[in-house]
Amino acid sequence: MEKKKILVTGVAGFMGSNLADRLLAAGHRVVGIDNLEYGRKEQVAEGVEFHKADIRSKEIYPLFEGVDAVFHLAAKNCLPDCQADPVATMDINVTGTANVFEAARRAKVPRTLYAESSAVEEGDDRLKGFYAISKLADGKIAEGYRAEFGLDIVGLRYFNLYGPRQDYRRKSPPVMSKLIITFLKGEQSLDRELGAERPVVFEGDEDNKRDFIYVDDVNDFHMLCLTDGRVKNKLFRLGSGRSTSVKEVYDTIVKLMGVQPNPIAKPRPPGDPVVATLADWSEAGKLGWKPKTSLEDGLRAQIEWMREEFKKGNIR
């Protein structure tokens, strides 16, 4: 395959760092941008030309020179943080995205791919959230740049990604990270005979379903986008095509970790309604892509990585 120069924003985050590894393994040159607000420098591979920079700054423009494709993944995406600070959310996710498109336009980058989110199609409640609003706005800005400047911009509407390096440090960690941390701590407590930390399960968890997709499966599609002309200016939904309940996630993690938890059942918290999401990934499927990692295999890899984090003392 022809070697390309690829720029990744949000390269120190969950998806960006995994994508950079994949691009380097394929022999591509990777330029990475991150302001390290949420990301971690130590998970950026050595081969990445890393720039600690903010996507809202004009200083990023020169970095786009000679780039063959941009993956724009940087965002403020911890939902409680977005709800707490709508202005910062719009500044980073909307102005920041416009600035990335502008940088790509000035440097005549042939293809720009940006991160959308299934939050924009999760029903009225979610749509009122500032994160979803910012992602909807990004779609409109993309339309504008296509129409006015002829930029090739591909929208990637991700459903719920999981896997190694998922950001477990945020105030409200994604469900899988949260459960794995509880069980890791519980295991440790048992070792010390302090009694296991007890996980919380909520009413309705068996109907609360998400389309969870493993990070490497999404990277398969990212790689395809580098060479396939058919993706031009399109929007793709990327999910596993399977809606999995939080209860099933819980049971699978329990099985894989071999723990015997004693969960505390609680009523559903307000602001966390029962929702079911399911990706129609047929557009991506037409290009020959399909998700291939089972929930068990994906969770096994995530548990293994989180065990290492725990051993290193990173999970407290």
Ligand X SMILES: NC(=O)c1ccc[n+]([C@@H]2O[C@H](COP(=O)([O-])OP(=O)(O)OC[C@H]3O[C@@H](n4cnc5c(N)ncnc54)[C@H](O)[C@@H]3O)[C@@H](O)[C@H]2O)c1
Which residues would be at the binding site for ligand X (CB under 6 A)? 10, 12-16, 33-39, 54-56, 73-77, 92, 96, 115, 117, 158, 160-161, 167
Q: Does residue 235 sit in helix, strand or coil?
A: strand
Pairwise CA distance, residues 19 & 30, whole Å: 10
Q: How many CB atoms lie within 10 A of CB 219?
A: 18
CA distances from 141 to 16, 144, 184, 207, 239 (A): 22, 5, 43, 35, 24
Taking the complex as a whole, the smallest distance from the CB of residue 220 to ligand X amounts, in Å, to 16
Residue 135 corresponds to which amino acid? K
Residue 16 or residue 164: which is nearer to ligand X going by CB? 16
Residue 158 or residue 236: which is nearer to ligand X going by CB? 158
**Between 246-257 and 175-191, two packed helices, what is the crossing angle to 10 degrees?**
30
CB 146 within 8 A of CB 162: no
CB 179 within 8 A of CB 250: yes
Taking the complex as a whole, the smallest distance from the CB of residue 3 to ligand X amounts, in Å, to 25
Taking the complex as a whole, the smallest distance from the CB of residue 54 to ligand X amounts, in Å, to 4
As given in the structure block, the two tokens for residue 13 are 């985050």
Taking the complex as a whole, the smallest distance from the CB of residue 174 to ligand X amounts, in Å, to 7
Taking the complex as a whole, the smallest distance from the CB of residue 4 to ligand X amounts, in Å, to 21
Taking the complex as a whole, the smallest distance from the CB of residue 188 to ligand X amounts, in Å, to 25
Residue 170 or residue 187: which is nearer to ligand X going by CB? 170
Q: Is 27 left (phi over 0), alpha (psi -120 to 50) or beta?
A: left
Alpha helices, H only, the chain: 14-25, 79-84, 86-90, 96-106, 124-127, 130-149, 175-191, 215-227, 246-257, 282-285, 295-311
Q: Does residue 163 sit in helix, strand or coil?
A: coil
Residue 188 or residue 245: which is nearer to ligand X going by CB? 245
Residue 33 or residue 256: which is nearer to ligand X going by CB? 33
Taking the complex as a whole, the smallest distance from the CB of residue 59 to ligand X amounts, in Å, to 11
Residue 13 or residue 164: which is nearer to ligand X going by CB? 13
Residue 54 or residue 65: which is nearer to ligand X going by CB? 54
